[in-house]
Amino acid sequence: MNEVSFRDKDVLVMKLLHYFITEKGYNPIILRGVDNEIWLENMDAPYRIIRINTGYIHNKEQYDFDMFKTKKIISRIKLKTFSFSLNTLSLFMDLGEDVELLSNNIINCVKVKDEKDIKLSKEITEAYPDIKDKLTFNEKGVELFAKITNDINKKNMKDAKEAEEVFKEKTPYVTYALLIINIIIFILMYIIGDGSEDINTLVNFGALAKDLVFNGEYYRLITSAFIHIGVIHLIFNMYALYILGKDIESYFGSIKYTFIYLTSALIGSLLSLVFMTDYSVSAGASGAIFGLMGSLLYFGYNYRVTLNNSITKQILPIIFLNLLIGFTSSGINNYAHIGGLLGGYIASMVVGVKYKTKKSEQINGAIVLILLILFLIYMSFFKN
């Protein structure tokens, strides 16, 4: 039986893939119409994009075209991942002797003919100081190929299992409870009150009234999110709560979801107080619902590669459209919407997205949330 052999370049590429995927958490990027190139992404790594070019670049014209094509692909990835900057490491495995590599502030180009080039490259070793040791294997030939393939498959299976756990649909018990509470309160406003459009009834049930909050009725900052003015207001908000709530609760879990919802309602109410007149009344779950939009934005950003271009084509347009409606229509408390949106995003950072958010980011989110609440309290209760 003949022994199977591999070219030195192919072996080095396999080792690099093994290192970046299994050691540094990079994931392959699927690009159509791209030959002799391997693209990897990790939005939390020193280089967000790793590009391995295995094709032969034999002159300056080919290299210039390759750089032009690379910049175009990076621009496409920016749009899909909602990223403003994608620092890229481009590794050339087969480069002509007369071709001079030119790096810029976005793309660092490195010629990698053998492992010695990797160890001598400042661009690579400063970002990945352990790469020198991680490219050493005891296996050779087919055994090396089998080990690398097996390790990469294990990593991919682990990632797939984690994604399946996060995206698996779960029963949204808290969302159902919120829907029931809102509907029951709305019905009670007609049974024991004078209806959902009566000012006294709204106030009695806990609507946001600036003078009453200033007199110590702080519970209105939360209770106002469970009261609605008119059946259309209720139907619109409950539909939005059901659509958004069941997904956010599934992604984050019931406890974290409850924190996000109530925090969004609180921030929305506090920002409303800053701009409300003394005797005006505000009510509705829309601040908390905008918080769910902010939460979805944060979740989508963390899973932007998995969700492709959903942020730019679905999530952001919905947010902008709803804010635009709020600014152009009378009788809508858009400050509650903006506050809820901001509160939902920050609250989501505090609780974190499973397998994605780092502890340091959660701590930063908690600090920002506390400072924001204190600032809004100052602007509402002391500045005014």
| Residue 4: DSSP 8-state | P
Q: How far apart are CA 285 and CA 289, in angstroms?
A: 6
List the 27-28 sheet strands across, edge first: 27-28, 37-41, 49-53, 88-92, 107-111
With H, G, I as helix, E, B as strand and everything else as coil, classify residue 5: coil
Strands 49-53 and 88-92: parallel
Q: What is the number of residues in the chain? A: 384
What is the Cα 11 distance to its own chain's centre? 36
**What are the φ/ψ torsions at residue 271 (nearest 5 degrees)?**
-70, -35
Q: How many other C-beta atoms are found inside a 10 Å radius of the C-beta of residue 323? A: 16
Q: How far apart are CA 183 and CA 158, in angstroms?
A: 42
- The encoded tokens of residue 255 equal 């406890």
Q: How far apart are CA 14 and CA 176, in angstroms?
A: 50
27 strand-pairing partners: 41
CA atoms within 13 A on the CB side of 99: 22
What one-letter code names the amino acid at 115?
Answer: E
Q: Are the C-beta atoms of 206 and 229 separated by less than 8 Å?
A: no
Q: How far apart are CA 342 and CA 345, in angstroms?
A: 5
Provide the terminal-to-terminal Cα distance of the chain, rounded to the nearest Å.
87
CA distances from 156 to 7, 22, 159, 162, 246 (A): 25, 9, 5, 10, 28
> Residues with catalytic annotation?
286, 337
Closest CA relative to residue 256, chosen from 305, 293, 292, 310 = 292
CA distances from 94 to 13, 56, 99, 106, 144 (A): 11, 5, 11, 22, 22
